[in-house]
Amino acid sequence: MQYYSLNHISPKLSFKEATIKGQAPDKGLYFPESIPVLSKDFLANIKEFSKEEIAFKVIQPYVGDEIPETELRRIVAETVNFDFPLVKINDQISSLELFHGPTLAFKDVGARFMSRCLGHFVKNNDKQVTVLVATSGDTGGAVANGFYGVEGVNVVILYPSGKVSSVQELQLTTLGKNISALEVDGTFDDCQQMVKQAFADMELNKELFLTSANSINVARWLPQQFYYFFAYQQWADKNHPPVFCVPSGNFGNICAGLLAHRSGLPAVHFIAACNANNVVTNYLSDGHYEPKKAVATLSNAMDVGSPSNFVRVLELFNKEFISMKNVLSSYSITDAETKNTIADVYTKMNYLLDPHGAVGYLALEKYLETHSDQKGMILETAHPIKFYDVVEPIIKEKVPIPDSIKSILEEKKQSVKMDANFEDLKSYLKQ
């Protein structure tokens, strides 16, 4: 499998090269040259397969012979060695819980897969690799955990000061060792722009071996297809495929779902659930795409005003607006609606949503108001404990603390404060 840049200037690369580079020299995102189609027999008998076998069948065509089969199976097995339960909330809406991994967020899948692929690729490299990543919340913790202790790899995480939850901040700032955290005085978009500038800086790239662990990296983005197939495996009514509603910020997650759909995943529709950062919601309404400066919300991991992965969504649909609208809808949910949804679902259905899941739930509910014959699921992307400071005042109860969180609550954060200035980042990386 070859990967081409969506800016169409840089040469095509293998999966290994695209993983190591992260972003193309022409600043484009890499995209697979072809999209594999899974056999109808596999999909019809998906209940017979293990999670590991499903994930291997999905990802192997994208990797090709870049990783030996036995090694790829080991990587896949370590990536998905936790539960992905589909939990019924009411008669029309279920929740695919993606928070049972080590950092209680859906990004554990992509981060674990990428860290193990990169570890394999740089095993005999004589130069340290620096993984540079911007986070709006959950990516930082997942990447920190996934790469912690990986030989030959240093990780530098940029996050917007005061705009991630207290638990998210502890997850990405307390590990130490080969993980460094930069606390940027700005927004996630500022952090993401600084990372992009680093990859485009020729002087910096001559001195350092840089790659990215954001969902712009194909090894972070592609494995997110796995849990869509795990969801379908658990879907009871195979004659009526589900609607997938995805809390969306940088659009890597929903783009992976749409890619899975192109590969054969049965789905009746996709919904991008957005908060006040509604660039794509507006685009799907009037066909006009206009990035904005991100605004802070309760669902902070979705606070993205210029979603990087939306160019991949456009590519999937050959930039045909009508084709996209037939498959993808979007709703924008306010903070007030988010709070009301958390309270309402908890009180009436005894199911506790995190703020991102609440955005997804209400968006799906709005869609089902005009599609009452359909059923669907939200992707519950993070455990409510990660946003206890938002959730607990709403439900007026304490959120039970999972064991994986208890161990870090007493830890002290270690971060370097930095202005939203690329030259400051460049100086830090060169020291």
Active site residues: 107
User: Which helix H or strand E contains 200, and what residues bound it?
Assistant: helix 188-200
* Burial bucket for residue 152 (CB in 10 Å: 0-12, 13-18, 19+): middle
Output helix, strand, coil percentages for the chain, rounded to the nearest 5: 45, 15, 40
Q: Mapping DSSP to helix (H, G, I), strand (E, B) and coil, where does residue 56 land?
A: helix
Beta partners for 31? 4
DSSP lists the bridge partners of residue 329 as 271
Compute CA distances 58 → 47, 161, 399, whole Å.
15, 37, 36
In degrees, rounded to 5, the angle at the alpha carbon of residue 353 between the alpha carbons of residues 250 and 268 is 60
* Contact predicate 86/94, CB 8 Å: yes
Strands of the sheet containing 269-274, edge to edge, are 86-88, 93-97, 376-380, 243-247, 269-274, 328-332
- Can you tell me the distance from the alpha carbon of 92 to that of 90, in angstroms, rounded to the nearest whole number? 6
Helix (H, G, I), strand (E, B) or coil at 232: helix
DSSP at 241: P
Q: Provide CB contacts within 8 A for 41, sequence distance 6+.
A: none
Q: Residue 92 half-sphere exposure, CB side, CA atoms within 13 Å? A: 16
DSSP 297-363: -SSGGG--SS-TTHHHHHHHTTT-HHHHHHHEEEEE--HHHHHHHHHHHHHHH--PPPHHHHHHHHH
The residue type found at 380 is E
Which of 58, 60, 1, 55 shows the shortest CA–CA distance to 32?
1
Taking the C-alpha atoms of residue 331 and residue 352, their distance in angstroms, rounded to an integer, is 21
